[in-house]
Amino acid sequence: MERAQLDIDKHFMQLAINESKLGNYPYGAILVKDNEVKFRAHNSASTDPTAHAEVALIRTATQQLGHPSLKGYTLYTSSESCPMCAAAEIWAHVDRVVFGASIQQLIEVAQQDQIFLQSNIVNSLWTGELVTVGKIRGAYELTGGILAEEALQVFAEWKQKQQDAGQS
């Protein structure tokens, strides 16, 4: 990756990480086009289990744009997308997805089996082993590990607060 692109990715990932601090779970996402943030969202899945940051972002963007395609957009998410979010990214035709912490890294911090299951499914989605989306998948670019330690720190702090409150 070119240095200039890495600097751009770090800048926008920091914004996604900042967004992750606003939700009830530590996940945030932003949608960028032409190096400008167009939409932001954070996890708000307390009563709606589908209200993950990426899905909320895609819903807001497509509703405001008035069409279901996000071609030309890059989605930055504080952590690697779960299967539901990854599928939404595919169906929305997002050109590029950039994530901070990987699911494997989150497993190590959270020690949750659900995340492990998601890791296997997401890997299959992105490698094409589970689904074949043809030309749609061919346009995707996936970049991971951008500011992963910063994203993990937010997750670890959230996890500690949950444990302190007896909600782990």
pLDDT in tens, 70-119: 999 999 999 998 888 988 998 999 999 999 998 888 888 776 555 555 55
Of the ranges 102-111, 121-130, 146-155, the best mean pLDDT one: 146-155
CA of residue 7 relative to chain centroid, distance? 19
Calculate mean pLDDT across residues 112-131. 54
The C-alpha atoms of residue 78 and residue 91 are separated, in whole angstroms, by 20
The C-alpha atoms of residue 83 and residue 115 are separated, in whole angstroms, by 10
Model pTM score: 0.86
Q: Which neighbouring-strand residues pair with 76? A: 30, 98
Q: Which residues fall within 8 angstroms of residue 158, CB to CB, at 6 or more apart?
A: 25, 26
Tokens of 159: 């996890």
- Spot the catalytic one: 19, 54, 80, 89: 54
Question: Alpha helices, DSSP H only, in 3-147?
Answer: 3-20, 53-65, 83-91, 103-110, 113-127, 135-138
Q: Which of 13-27, 46-60, 137-151 has the lowest mean pLDDT?
A: 137-151
Which DSSP state fits 22? T
Tokens of 73: 């957009």
Indicate if 54 belongs to the active site.
yes
Note the pLDDT of residue 7: 97
